[in-house]
Structure formats: C-alpha cells, structure tokens
Chains A and B, each alone.
Chain A
Amino acid sequence: MFVYIARRVVYVIPIVASVALVCFLLVHITPGDPLVAVLPADASQELAQQLRVAYGFDKPLPVQFGLWVWRALHGDLGSSIATGRPVLSEVMKAVGNTVTLAIAAAAIGFTLGLFFGLIAGYFRDTWVDKVATSIAIAGVSVPHYWLGMVMVIIFSVQLNWLPAVGAGPGGSGAWAWDWEHIKYLVLPAITTSVIPMGIVTRTVRALTGDILSQDFVEALRAKGLQETKVFRHVIKNAAPTALAVMGLQLGYMLGGSILIETVFSWPGSGLLLNSAIFQRDLPLLQGTILVLALFFVFLNLLVDIAQASIDPRIKRS
C-alpha cells in the first residue's frame, strides 16, 4: 500500500511539470502583444519597452518559463495586469467561492445520483429503471448554462423566490452559511449538480447491475441472506469505483465552473477566468488555469489513494 502511494505520488511530478509547461505555453500562443491590456493606445515605444522589461516579456521563452516556475514555487504568480493585485490571492479568493458551489452541487448531485443509480440497477428493466435512466441521460445531455437560464426564468423572474445573480446581499465579499447567502447558492448549485447527478446515476446503475449478476450474489441469496444485507454487499463492491467517479466529477465541477459562474455572476474562479480572458490579463489567465489544473491533479491523486485504501484488491498488491 505504501509502495502504491509512493509510486502514485512520484508519477504526479512529471504531470505537474507538464501542466505548468502547458499553462505557460498557452499564453504564448496568444496572438498579439501581451501588453495590449495595459498599454494606452498612444503609448510611446519607450513606455512599451519599459513595461516589457518590467513584466519580463523581453527575455527568451525558456528563461521566462524558468523564472515563472521559480517564482510560482515560491507562491508568486505575478500580479494581474488589469488590477495590479497579486494573482495568487485573487485566485485563491475566487477558488474559495467555487469550492463552496462545488460542495453544495456535489451534495445534491451525488445524493440523487447514488439514489437513482442504486434503484435503477436494482430494479433493472422496470419502469423505475426507465425513469431513472431518462433523468440521468437528460442530466448529461442538457446544456447546463441554458438550464441555469431556465432556472432564473422560473424561480427569479416568474416566481421571484430566489435571487438571479451574485453571491450575497449587497455584493459583499464574505460568504456565510446563513439563509441570506444560501438563497444565492440554491440555483447555481442545482444547475451545477445535474451533470454529476447524471454521470453518477449511470455509473452506479451499471455497477449495481454487474454486481447483482455475479455468482457470489446468487450464493448470498442461496444461503438465505436478507435482501437488505445482499444490498449491503452490493454497495460495498460498488463503492471504490463509484467513489473514483465522484472524485473526478468534483474535479470537473471545480475546473469547469466557468459557464455556470458566468450565468449567475458567481464570484468564483470561473468568473475570474472569464474576466481574465476578456481583459487579456495574461498573468491572471495563466495563474488561474495553473491553480485550477493543479487542484484537479491533486484531487485525482487523492481519489486514487482513497480508492486504493478501500479496495482490498489494490490494497494488497
């Protein structure tokens, strides 16, 4: 088990290095001058040159990359061209809001997904299964940003129950777990939850079906075990894979929140990325993508280790 974890951790190192390289290069495939966002249209050549040196854009690419990695290792991702504030603190503040959203969405999506998946797998080919699989396929096929709009139309515009945009009254920054704040979270969280709900449902349904068709279940029933206890065996066997899928989905929610955060103006990493793109704020863009990708990589690592620790087949090897 220790060897497994060690090998898995070592394997992450080249991945992290490549991710950093991709993030760095991403910005350099950008057409046009990276300073375009800060330079006034009538800026002199000298000013442009001064700024180029200040941001390090005058050095050769490998040197820039080395410097960037070196600073990043020390927690310095540069400062935003648009606001001048340090990228890391901007990103971490936004990521906090995204994590809040992702956790709320995961709570909804995973609970529903597990429930639908288990009953669909257990009552395979009955009407229960058909209803659950239809919900699941709708969940994975729906353009979630559109679903967000529809939610706003129904619950904010028509019924006027919940706020349409923002993350708290009066645009205040601090998040709190009270109703005044939570009511801002409801619509984005439900909207975010539909994809993981659909995927978890489909995965768990397939797993449950497979496990129930195995001989050992027949043996359990043959020896007179109660159906509820048989079901416990099913859950135990489905858990490692289901957990891995859910972990991956949590990662997708953290990294792929841009569309929903844009719809609801939720002040998370996605909205930050959106503004970085449209203001052509390259350090911010680079930093946000890097932080999100690293989150994703480490989440995957955690999922693998967690999966290994509850799956006796991996644990023993």
Chain B
Amino acid sequence: MINWLANPERFSSVARPVRPWLGAVAAALLVWGLALSFLSPEDYQQGDTVRIMYIHVPAAWMAMAVYGIMGVASFFGLIFRHALADAAAKAIAPIGAVFTALALLTGSLWGKPMWGTWWQWDGRMTSVLVLFLFYIGYIALHASIEDEQRAAKSTAILALVGLINLPVIKFSVEWWNSLHQGASIFVKGGPTIEASMRWPLYVMGLAYLFLMLWLFLIRLDSEILNRKYRALRARLALN
C-alpha cells in the first residue's frame, strides 16, 4: 500500500479528491470544538481563562506530532530514497513551526493571568522553544542548499538527530520542577481531567489534527507540482 502510494503522481491523484473533505471536517470540528469550549464550565480556580487550554494544548500536540511525522518521513527519505517522503518532510516543516509558535504564544497569554508571568524558563517551555528553533534551522538549511536531493538528505539527518527533543518535551514536566502540570490525558489508568473539560479538548484536538492534515496535503501537492515544474524546465533547458 505504502509502496503503491509512494509514486508522487499516484499520490496526488488519490489525495486531491480527499482534500476538500478533510478541510470540511476540520472546519466542522473547529466550530463544534469552539462551541464546546465556550459551553464547558469555568475552572474553579482559573475562571474563564481555562478556555485558553482548548487552543493551547492541541497546538502543542500538533507541534510534536508534526515533528514526529517529519522524523518518520525523513527516515524513509534517507533510507529508502522515496521522493515523496522527501517532499513530505519539506512540506510539513513550516506547518509544525506555526503550530509551535501558536503553542508558545497562547501559552504565554495563558501564563500571564495564571502564573503571573509571560514566560518562565522551565523545562517544558525551554524544550518547546528549542523545538521551534529546530524547525527554523530545518527550514533555513533546506533553503540554503540549492540541489534538491542534497538538501533533502542533509535536512533529513538534522531532523532525525533532532528527534531526541520529543521525549525531552514529553517528560520535561516529570524530570524538572515546572509550572506546567503533569500529564493528565495520556496517563496510565485513563485521563485525570474532568469529563466536561476533556471532551472539548478531544474535539479541538481532532479539529487541529484534520486542519494539519488538510494543510499538509495542500503543501505536499504544491511541492510535488513544483518539482515537476522544475524537472520540466530542466528538460527544456537541455533541448
């Protein structure tokens, strides 16, 4: 299946009809999730500001998920030399950078009323900031290598080495003292967060996921087209 889809041409023909549906589902989920977020009860300590959670936490999830996808794509591009994997890693990097920036920004806006500070150099925030810098470095490295194949290879190595940051982010709240709370969704024995707040969070998480996939397919398709265009131009220049 994966090998069958790894042909960029075939991938585009499969992905293009799916794409509008992804966008529609993302929009519907976003509306539903936002409605739920505003209907959910206020936190007994945080009051209204707890609602920032519903846009902050999914953004942080996506920041990490996108880097994970980038790592997997880089691996396949580097080891099995799938052209589609190279294009996928390149296409998804800016999406991840934006989600990371969103997580940092909303976190900062949430931190001010709750912790009394815009920023605290705790393990979680520092490691997510480093994740953002990794994204920037990845994009900059890709942009500065002219040859597409070399760029794909070098950035894939960088992305794979940078994967080490993901577990650091995940466990940062356990390893170091932090203003961030410990894990409350993905924990052994089920989530510890109240159901009335859990459900809006799940819906928003799904909405972000579909939004990410939708944007990813758009960017990937234009990357494939871009490559085709460049290949055609190179061929024309030869004649």
Pairing of A with B? no
Which A residues are within 8 Å of any B CB, using their own CB? Answer: none
